[in-house]
Structure 1
Amino acid sequence: MATGVHSLAPEVGQTPIIVNGEIPAVNGGNGHSHPTPTTKSDFKVGEFAIDEDRPIRVAVIGAGYSGIIAGIRLPQRLKNVELVIYEKLGGVGGTWFANRYPGLACDIPAHSYQLTFEPNPHWSAFYAPGPEIRQYLEGVVEKYKLMRYIKLNHEMTTAKWNADTGKWNLTVIGPEGEFEDNVDFVMNCVGGLSRWDWPDIEGLENFKGKRVHSAQWDLQKEGDKEPWEGKNVAVIGVGSSAIQIVPAIHYKAAKVVNFVRGKTWIAAPFASSEIQIRNPGGDTHHFTEAEMREFEDPEYYADFRHRLEDELNAVHGATQRGHPIQAAAVQIFKEAMIKKLEKKPWIAEHLVPTFPVACRRLTPGPGYLEALCADNVDFVPKHIKRITETGIETVDGQHLDFDIIVCATGYDTTFRPRHPVIGTGGVNLQDKWKDHPVTYLTMAVDGFPNWFYSLGPNSAVGSGSLLVLMEREIEYIIKIIGKAQKERLKSIEVKKEAVDDFDEYLDTYFQQTVYSQKCRSWYKMGKEEGRVAGLWPGSTLHALLAFKNPRWEDFNYEPLETKKNRFYWLGNGWTVAERDGLVGERAWYLNEIDYPPVPK
């Protein structure tokens, strides 16, 4: 019927006869599908429209890439959200604000290390310098006016779940002192490479020269003179930071000595075909003004980005044991390293690994091997016994004097929170993750309702774009928060059995990968063997599909109201547009038509 009111007729074409407001029984029935209630329910519908989502407060911890994405997408996707972003540093950008060491640069193509919805056609180089990435992030924050949410120099020091109120009680220290904040949801966007420590080397504190950690670079110029100019500098480590620092400083230093205790693969450039088109035979490329003008053509730029990421996502096979791509990578990388070390071939014997490519984090390291071959650079593959007031003594008794010691020795990669996070029953996440972190799809933990991670344990990838994965994690979490908001839930908590199953999947999956081989890596929390806690169990594309839609059956829910009826969230039968008489907004479904393709 045109009015949308339907009647029940005993036969087609006949109008039902109504007796005392009821349809009489047909063929012995009583005309009802359910018996008439004998007692009146005390349930009352909610005094709100179905799309009048309850107000909630969300705290985001960290203003790096993930926190910035959350700051953009949360207000876009959800209504009635009060948002605060706590950042312990004095600026936005996370690791790109904290790290200031010489040579700092992106180790994947810059055009793949940007937000999918915020393309930047003006990167100066294939591997963009750190200051450019920081400037890019600051520009995104300014464009989307995120400083209205961000509180700089504010560090969360304690988080405690209140089961009665369904809120997280946060303790925060800022310029105004210590205060508490009660929020409905927490999105932890700190990341796994944000906490650094000095290496455990005897006598480090006794050194009378200048010592600096790559993650807290505080060496200042003396006028126009670099602080390492004409100085003897020790660089401890062979991770991504050391590989960038050595070639950046050796030109002006009197002497650079790189102390290396392990081996590492120096990768061929990622998405190298795009480099070879512009710089045949090169390891990197600096874009010309003409090339950047070409990138300003949206169609051309979109095609370039698509080719770039298609190539990045083509090498997942290199992470699998026995895969042809893995075998080819070993041969190609080994030949390239040996060739670049021709001037000092003995270095290759100590640096070229016997473990598979990608077992530890790969970095292209443009210029690193060439720097090791410079006359003023020494490579010392010996363990350090101790640090003295004037320099470094190795285990064989050799002592070298230095003006500056650079500790490029990495981060705390255990993922254990630095501050207490207390969930249900008083369980501290620091204790729960004492041996290794356990999560559900990297984002949730049982016993910690309304607490979610972006770029948490097992979120990094061995190949492909990390930024798009962060974006999808944020979208996934927002869907969960939106469900709690719309359905008026006090809490959403992942089931323990779901966490256990994902944990089992992780362990089983990584046995088939190169990450299970013996090599020291932050992927395995700094150990040579053991649990892989840093990487997603699959490719980037695999992760994107896994994050597409939440599996609601893997969560437990507690309602906000003490109502027994699961449909309380339906409200009073109205929508906001109808109730408030919003002209033009009462036919919104016509703006969401999905036109099906017509077969030819």
Structure 2
Amino acid sequence: MTTETNGTNAPKNGASSLNGTSGHPNGYKLGDFSIDECRPMRVVCIGAGFSGILAGIRFPQKVPNVDLTIYDKNPAIGGTWYNNKYPGLSCDIPAHTYQYAFEDNMEWSAFYAPGPEIREYLERVANKYKVMKYIHLEHELVGAYWQEAESKWRLRVKRPSPNSTPENKQYEEFEDKADVLFTGLGSLARWHWPDIEGLKDFKGCILHSAEWDVTERSWQESVKDWGDKKVGVIGVGSSAIQIVPALQPRVAHLVNFVRSKTWLATPFLEEKMSDLLGRDPAGSYVFTEEDKQRFRDPAFYKKFRHNMEHELNSTYQGTLKGTKVQQMIRAAFTENMRQRLAKKPWITEYLLPDFGVACRRLTPGPGYLEALCEDNVTFEPTHIRRITETGIELVDGKHHDLDIIVCATGFDTSFQYPFPFVGRGGITLREKYTPHPRTYLALCVDGFPNWFQSCGPNSGVYGGSLVAILQQQVDYAVKATLKLQRERLKSMVVKKEAVDDFDEYLEAYFPKTVHTEKCRSWAKMGKDEGRVVGLWPGSSLHCLRAFAHPRWEDFDYQPLDPVKNRFYWLGDGQTYNEKTLTGDRAWYLNPDEVDYPPVPEN
């Protein structure tokens, strides 16, 4: 019996051809692979903070046949929680709302967890889930270039050379390639010195909050000899608000130089914590052994954590202009600040803002206002003219003699990275982010295929857990990688019109919020006015919903194989386990696969 053909190598009746694929009169042949025969995917992640560690968990968990590498420029993991070691460093939202959803910590020592504890938490998570095997420390990304012909990212990475020593650091560069690039570079990771005349003339010790002495095991150890020192702290952002009360009892005199106004919040969720723990709302923020013992009860801990995040996610209305919630919290914060500054009420005139609550980054700042009222602290609202050899001179000619100057002057929040980031056709990210960043849902950028990010422009939130947002951003990148793998695509890139539409949404959204009022804010690239680039356009819960179901129609794709048929990825009509008679061939009955519907009571 012979098979009739129609002038081609493909059998007319659709039977298998000699190479094991089915044919078609037009010459189309099925792929010789199974639908779930997953091709290798090379994924490179930049950064080993909250996002990078999570990427080290989720990519191996969910992407089969993945080859993952995580590069971090620091000698240890932790990201911003490694970089920052300044006095008083702590989380400025309750610790129980600042952890992975799947990894509880029942041993936080305080309501606002100290920075070292957060870093220890991240190290513990990384070790538990065996993430360290993917991480290469002291490996800094110095260039990223999209290679169109290969549809891969070419990465230049700097690392210590083999003959490098701690005393004589030497570096070398090498190249790596990735099918997918995921970056968790952080929005508050690139600090800078203040632009003040004479900064280098000071003969005493000058420090930046983001570059504290990394040779010490603790900040307490680094300031143990400051008891007779006169210390100046420049700034009134979240870092300065933590540094001032930490240093005040440890130095002879402290001067806080403040040029801006800021809101000090009533402690976030303090009343809810007190209610759940049955303690005095005005009590200590340090957890007692009795508190910790209650946290070790899984049922109580689950209830406590859920209630804390429930309350944290109930504050969105406070960011909108003219709402009753905004008016109520403004009145409450005003009264709270006046009470805490009762010993030096004149400070209120210089510190209490005329802009809305949450225009600037909001922090409760336990102990800050109380520290300003102490006898060994001077609150200095007069602007700085210059730094001299012996201290700081103000614009009115007054001079403060100082032994130590601490610059708590913030970060570069322009998202202009200090290395070339080059996309399709030679377009650079710097060009795309000028005059301000333009992204698609804070996740990716047109012209930059196979690149996804966390902690990028417009991904910060007020009134919600940032870690929950980071988890969704990582999951989005994982879903995109799976789509590239499953559908045999060599590239996907968001459409320019989708970026334009998100940009239009941003422009329409923020004017109704307090974020656009006149105040110097990191969310506006450190400016008083202008585009809001640091925050998500909506609540944190709104952000989670937006990321949950990707709109794949907003992307353009290029197939891996030179075949026009969009269903080529269906392969040879079978799964790998069937073809090889290996593995589970009834996986859809497994408990974690079956979606059991609830039985209605009525």
Same-fold call, TM > 0.5?
A: yes
Alignment of 1:419-568 (within 5 A): 419-568=419-568
- Opposite residue 492 of structure 1, the aligned amino acid is M
2:34 matched to 1:49? yes
Describe the superposition over 1:321-361 as per-residue Cα deviations: whole angstroms up to 9, x where unpaired. 01111000110000010111111111000001010000010
Query: Is 1:99 paired with 2:84?
Result: yes
Please tell me whether the aligned partners of residues 69 and 474 of structure 1 are also in contact (alpha carbons under 8 angstroms). Answer: yes
Residue 594 of structure 1 corresponds to 595
Is 284-293 or 217-226 further displaced after alignment? 217-226
Q: 2:472 aligns to what SS in structure 1? A: helix
- Match of 2:200, SS state, is helix
Amino acid at match of 2:235: G
The residue number in structure 2 matching 1:244 is 242
Q: Which residue of 1 aligns with 2:194?
A: 199
- SS of 1:379's partner is strand
**In 2, are the aligned partners of 1:275 and 1:283 still within 8 Å (CA)?**
no
SS of equivalent to 1:527? coil
| Residue in 2 that maps onto 1:276 | 274
CA contact (8 A) 2:449 2:493 kept: yes
Q: Which residue of 2 aligns with 1:266?
A: 264
Partners of 2:531 and 2:223 in 1: CA distance? 45
CA distance in 2: counterparts of 1:445 and 1:225, whole angstroms:
44
CA contact (8 A) 1:228 1:404 kept: no
Describe the SS at the equivalent of 1:251. helix
Residue type of the partner of 1:55?
Answer: P
Task: Tell me what 2:148 maps to.
Answer: 163
Q: Residue 189 of structure 1: which of 184, 189, 206 is its match?
A: 184
Helix, strand or coil: the match of 1:137?
Answer: helix
Shift of 1:290: 1.6
Q: Percent identity between the aligned chains?
A: 57
Q: What residue is the counterpart of 2:66 in the other structure?
A: 81
Provide closer, same or farther for how the CA distance between residues 224 and 361 of structure 1 changes in structure 2, counting only shifts above 3 A. Answer: closer
Query: What is the identity, as a one-letter code, of the residue corresponding to 2:193?
Result: W
List aligned pairs for 1:340-351, cutoff 5 A: 340-351=340-351
What corresponds to 2:46 in structure 1? 61
Query: SS at 2:58's partner residue?
Result: helix
Residue by residue over 1:534-560, the C-alpha shift from the partner in whole angstroms, topping out at 9 and shown as x without a partner, is 000111111111111100110000011
Q: Is the 8 A contact 1:106 1:130 kept in 2?
A: yes
Aligned equivalent of 1:411:
411
User: In the alignment, which residue of structure 2 is the partner of 1:33?
Assistant: none
Distance in 2 of aligned mates of 1:146 and 1:227: 39
C-alpha displacement at 1:227, in angstroms? 4.2
Report the more deviating stretch, 150-159 or 291-300: 291-300
Aligned to 2:12: none
CA distance in 1, matches of 2:285, 2:151: 52
- Structure with max Cα Rg: 1
Q: CA deviation at 1:40?
A: 2.8
Q: Do the aligned residues in 1 keep the contact of 2:271 with 2:281 (CA within 8 Å)? A: no
Q: Alignment partner of 1:301: what SS?
A: helix
Aligned alpha-carbon RMSD (Å):
1.7
1:179 counterpart = 2:174: yes
The CA distance in 1 between the partners of 2:270 and 2:464, in whole Å, is 14
Q: Is the 8 A contact 1:96 1:134 kept in 2?
A: yes
Unaligned runs of at least 5 residues, structure 2? 5-22, 162-171
- Counterpart-to-counterpart distance in 2, 1:247 and 1:111: 23
Residue number in structure 1 paired with 2:103: 118
Letter in 1 for 2:588: Y
The alpha carbon displacement at 1:49 in A equals 1.2
- Structure 1 residue 294 displacement after superposition: 1.2
For residues 313-324 of structure 1, the aligned pairs below 5 Å read 313-324=313-324
Q: Which letter does structure 2 place at the counterpart of 1:430? A: R
- Cα distance change of structure 1 residues 223 and 470 upon mapping to structure 2, 3 Å threshold: closer
Say whether the 8 Å CA contact 1:443–1:452 is kept in structure 2.
yes
User: Which of 218-227 and 95-104 deviates more?
Assistant: 218-227
Per the alignment, do residues 356 and 564 of structure 1 end up closer, same or farther by CA in structure 2, a change over 3 Å counting?
same
Partner of 1:12: none
Distance 1:214 1:450, change over 3 A: same
Local SS of the residue matching 1:174: strand
Separation (CA, whole Å) in 2 of partners of 1:93 and 1:148? 15
Larger mean CA deviation between 540-549 and 275-284 belongs to: 275-284
In structure 1, distance between residues paired with 2:523 and 2:189: 14
Q: Distance in 1 between matches of 2:581 and 2:93?
A: 52
Structure 1 position 596, deviation (Å): 3.1
2:80 maps to a residue whose letter is: T
Report if aligned partners of 1:66, 1:470 keep a CA contact under 8 Å in 2: yes
Give the aligned residue type for 1:250. Answer: Q
Maintained 8 Å contact 1:107/1:364: yes
- Output one character per residue of 1:241-292: Cα deviation in whole Å (capped at 9) or x when no partner: 0000000011010110000000000001111223433552437521111211
Structure 2 CA distance for aligned equivalents of residues 283 and 113 of structure 1: 21
Residue 256 (str. 1) matches residue 254 (str. 2) = yes
Contact 1:284 1:366 in 2 (8 A): no
* Residues 222, 327 of structure 1: alpha-carbon distance in 2 compared, 3 angstrom cutoff: closer
Instruction: Provide the C-alpha distance between the structure 2 equivalents of 1:67 and 1:382, rounded to a whole number of angstroms.
Output: 42
Matching residue's letter, 1:228:
W
Please give the TM-score of this superposition, normalised by the length of structure 2.
0.91
Letter in 2 for 1:186: L
Provide the rounded CA distance (Å) in 1 between the counterparts of 2:374 and 2:326: 31
Structure 2 residue aligned with 1:133: 118
Instruction: Report how many residues are paired.
Output: 564
Alignment correspondent of 2:211: 216
Residue 593 of structure 1, CA deviation: 2.6
1:432: how far off? 1.7
Q: 2:234 is aligned with what amino acid?
A: I
Q: Which runs of 5+ in 1 are unaligned?
A: 1-19, 22-37
* Equivalence for 1:4: none
Q: Is the 8 A contact 1:283 1:366 kept in 2?
A: no
SS in 1 for 2:249: coil
Deviations 1:488-512 (A, max 9, x none): 1110100000000000101110011
**Equivalent position of 1:393 in the other structure:** 393
**Structure 1 CA distance for aligned equivalents of residues 313 and 159 of structure 2:** 42
Give TM-score scaled by structure 1 length: 0.92
Q: What secondary structure, in the 3-state scheme, does the structure 2 residue paired with 1:169 have?
A: strand
Aligned partners of 1:158 and 1:419 also within 8 Å: yes
Give the direction of change, closer, same or farther, for the CA distance of 1:514–1:284 in structure 2 (3 Å limit): farther
Q: 1:80: Cα distance to partner?
A: 0.9
Measure the CA separation in 1 of the matches of 2:32 and 2:430: 42
Is the CA contact 2:270–2:281 (under 8 Å) kept in the aligned structure 1? no
**Aligned partner letter, 1:160:** Y
Relative to structure 1, is the Cα distance of residues 66 and 405 closer, same or farther in structure 2, using a 3 angstrom cutoff?
same
Q: Distance in 2 between matches of 1:222 and 1:104?
A: 11
Q: Give the 3-state SS of the residue equivalent to 1:82 in structure 2.
A: strand
CA spacing shift, 1:554–1:343, aligned 2, 3 Å: same
The whole-number CA distance in structure 2 between the counterparts of 1:203 and 1:431 is 33
- For residue 173 of structure 1, report the CA deviation from its aligned partner: 0.1
